[in-house]
Amino acid sequence: MTDKFPELEDEQSPERRMEGLKALRMFLWLAVVLIGALALFAIFGGERHSAPQQRTTFADTVGGPFTLTAPDGSAVSDQTLAGKPFAIFFGFTRCPDVCPTTLSRLAQLRQRMGTDGSKFAIVFVSLDPEHDSPEDIGRYVALFDTPIIGLTGTDTQLAQIVKAYHVYYEKVPVEGGGYTIDHTAAVYLMGADGKLQSIIDHHEGADASLAKLRRLVK
C-alpha cells in the first residue's frame, strides 16, 4: 500500500513533522517579537509624540482664583482684575526697606511710561493681617502718590493667593518681642489674561524693569 500512496507516507514521516513544528515555532516567535516591538513603540513613541501637548512651564502655574479685601471693605478677586494687566507685590506695611522701595520704584516707573502708565494696575497684598487692617493698608498705599490697590484677607484667603503665586513668607521673631516677615521680594507682572508674563527682581535695574512694563501693556 505504501507503493500506491508514497506522498502520504512522506507527509507523515517524522522528518516532515519536525520541520513543520520548527516552522511553526519560528512563526510564533516572530509574531511575539513583532507584537512586543509594536507595544514598545506605542508606549514610548506615543509619549514622545504627545509630550509637547502635556508640557507646562512655571508661568502656567502662577496665578489663579482668590478673593481679598480692599481698604473700603469691598471684595476684590482675580475676576475684578481680569482684562487689564497688573503688577502684584506681596509684603507688609511695617516692612523697613524692600516694600516701600519696591512700591516707590513702581510709582516712578509708571510715571516714566507716560500715558501707558495707566494701562496696568499696581496691586499690593499685605501678608500681615494681624497688624495690617484694610484701613491701614489704604493709608499705606496712599503714601506713594499713584493709584495702588491695597489688599489683605483672612489667613485662609492669604494662604490661597500665596499658593497660587508661589510666594514665600515667614514670620521671624525679633529681639524684644514681636516679629518681622521674610517674604518674596519679586513683582509679578500678570497679563490681561491673568497669566504670568514676567517678573521684576528686587535688584533689577530701572531700565530693564521699565522695558518689562512696556511689554506688559502692549
Q: Where are the domains of the chain?
A: 6-54, 60-216
Look at the pTM and tell me if it is higher than 0.85: no
pLDDT recorded at residue 85: 98
**In angstroms, how far apart are the furthest CA atoms of the chain?**
119
pLDDT recorded at residue 2: 45
pLDDT recorded at residue 55: 66
Count the helix, strand and coil residues of the chain and give each as a percent rounded to the nearest 5: 50, 20, 30
pLDDT recorded at residue 57: 87
CATH class (in words) of the domain with range 60-216: alpha beta
Residues of the chain with pLDDT below 50 are: 1-11, 29, 32-33, 37, 39-44, 46-51
pLDDT recorded at residue 19: 56
Using CA atoms, how far apart are residues 148 and 179, in angstroms rounded to an integer?
26
pLDDT recorded at residue 8: 39
